[in-house]
Amino acid sequence: MYRMKEAIQKFIRYYHKIKKSSGNTEASYRRDLEKLSDYLESQAGVHDWSEVTQTHLNSYTLGMERDNYAPSSISRAIASMNAFFTYMEKKHLIDENPASELKRPKVAKALPQIMTVAEIESLLKQPDVSKAKGQRDLAMLELLYATGMRVSELIGIRVDDLNLPLNYVVCHDSKTERIIPFGKAAGKALDNYLKNARPSFIKEKESDYLFTNCSGGSMSRQGFWKLLKGCASDAGIEHEITPHTLRHSFASHMIQNGADLKSVQEMLGHTDITTTQMYVDLNLSHMKDVYAKSHPRK
């Protein structure tokens, strides 16, 4: 007889060795499967994995629903079961996978967090533009918020991609390139950076990249995250923000101010307009909150 907890341990070791799973994934699998085995032994009278049926698993997930588990937790538990029983079937320890036809509940996609216009303005006031580093930091922040590009795209921009007279930048993603306009504020910050800060960074070095670190090397994602977090802290912004928060904020603020969905889609580089639709949903959710708080006959 295969002891149930022993089988879980062997499954975790297999996933670690063969699938190169992370510690967090392994901890989730162990937690989900040990809860399941406790239920099966104590409430279903099942003491061997070969005895488990789809009915047992359906009863277990229905119990999770009755106990008000979040859909995301139930969905994760089903994913853990499926991975485990697939392994057991592959090792010929069970005849078939009883979790193969379990339906995972729909998990509502959380709307992205955005910054207010006041928070953006406060953030952009933080770089010390009397110093070269501050001029670079402001140029990066202004361009990111002005275009909504990804941080990987931002640090990959080359000097030749920038057209200051016409205020646009050519942005390269993994497969395509797109042209994104930007406004006067970003243009002014970029012009100042190119004239006064970038030469002091690169000195005698040659670099095609628009943004460099203080030693003239290519700017890293980690370097930009560090400067963003520092500016957010100095601005007194207490909730966590990431480079993607600025991308979300750009899209949401554009739509709030009347930009059409198709144009925002093209600037963000979304292949499917339904991805861009979430910013409309986000603004609708915000309007409903404002209405609920403000209308006298709410």
Domain total in the chain: 2
Out of 10, 35, 178, 270, which one is annotated catalytic?
270
Residue 34 lies in a domain: yes
Residue 111 lies in a domain: no
Whether 92 is a known active-site residue: answer no
- End-to-end alpha carbon distance in the chain: 63
- Residue-number span of the structural domain to which 11 is assigned: 4-90
Q: What is the DSSP letter of 149?
A: -
What pLDDT score was predicted for residue 36?
96
Q: Tell me, yes or no, whether 159 and 64 share the same domain.
A: no
Domain boundary among 34, 55, 90: 90
Instruction: CATH number of the domain at 36, please.
Output: 1.10.150
C-alpha span between 10 and 272 (Å, rounded):
42
What pLDDT score was predicted for residue 297?
56
Whether 184 is a known active-site residue: answer no
Q: Tell me, yes or no, whether 288 and 165 share the same domain.
A: yes
What pLDDT score was predicted for residue 19?
80
β pairing state of 177-181 and 168-172:
antiparallel
Residue 176 lies in a domain: yes
Q: Tell me, yes or no, whether 160 and 279 share the same domain.
A: yes
Give the pTM.
0.62
Q: Tell me, yes or no, whether 85 and 145 share the same domain.
A: no
Residue 108 lies in a domain: no
Q: Tell me, yes or no, whether 202 and 237 share the same domain.
A: yes
Q: Tell me, yes or no, whether 229 and 279 share the same domain.
A: yes
Contact present, 206 and 80 (Cβ < 8 Å)? no
Q: Give residue 92's Cα distance to chain centre.
A: 38
Helix (H, G, I), strand (E, B) or coil at 181: strand
Residue 215 lies in a domain: yes
Out of 136, 150, 198, 247, which one is annotated catalytic?
247
* Residue count (the chain): 298
Look at residues 100, 56, 95, 93 and name the one whose alpha carbon lies nearest to residue 79: 100
Q: Tell me, yes or no, whether 160 and 232 share the same domain.
A: yes
Q: Tell me, yes or no, whether 171 and 257 share the same domain.
A: yes
Look at residues 3, 93, 83 and name the one whose alpha carbon lies nearest to residue 48: 3
Residue 100 lies in a domain: no
Q: Tell me, yes or no, whether 187 and 237 share the same domain.
A: yes
Out of 175, 239, 293, 295, which one is annotated catalytic?
175
Q: Scanning the structure block, which residue is given the tokens 């090397």?
A: 217
Q: What is the DSSP letter of 99?
A: T
Alpha helices (runs of H) in the chain, residue ranges in sequence order: 4-18, 23-43, 54-66, 71-90, 117-124, 132-147, 151-156, 184-192, 198-202, 221-234, 243-256, 261-268, 273-294
Q: Tell me, yes or no, whether 262 and 203 share the same domain.
A: yes
Q: Tell me, yes or no, whether 212 and 78 share the same domain.
A: no
Q: What is the DSSP letter of 113?
A: P
Strand partners of residue 178 = 171
Whether 2 is a known active-site residue: answer no
C-alpha span between 288 and 275 (Å, rounded):
21
What pLDDT score was predicted for residue 18?
86
Domain boundary among 90, 108, 129: 90
Residue 101 lies in a domain: no
Q: Hey, what are 160's tokens?
A: 């030749």
Q: Tell me, yes or no, whether 129 and 10 share the same domain.
A: no
Residue 81 lies in a domain: yes
* pLDDT tens-place string over residues 253-277: 998 888 888 998 999 988 888 778 8
Q: What is the mean pLDDT of each run of 10 residues along the chain (298 residues)?
A: 82 88 86 95 92 95 92 92 94 94 79 86 97 97 95 94 96 84 96 95 88 90 93 93 92 88 89 79 59 55
Domain boundary among 74, 90, 106: 90
C-alpha span between 254 and 125 (Å, rounded):
21
Whether 247 is a known active-site residue: answer yes
Q: What is the DSSP letter of 237?
A: -
Instruction: CATH number of the domain at 286, please.
Output: 1.10.443.10
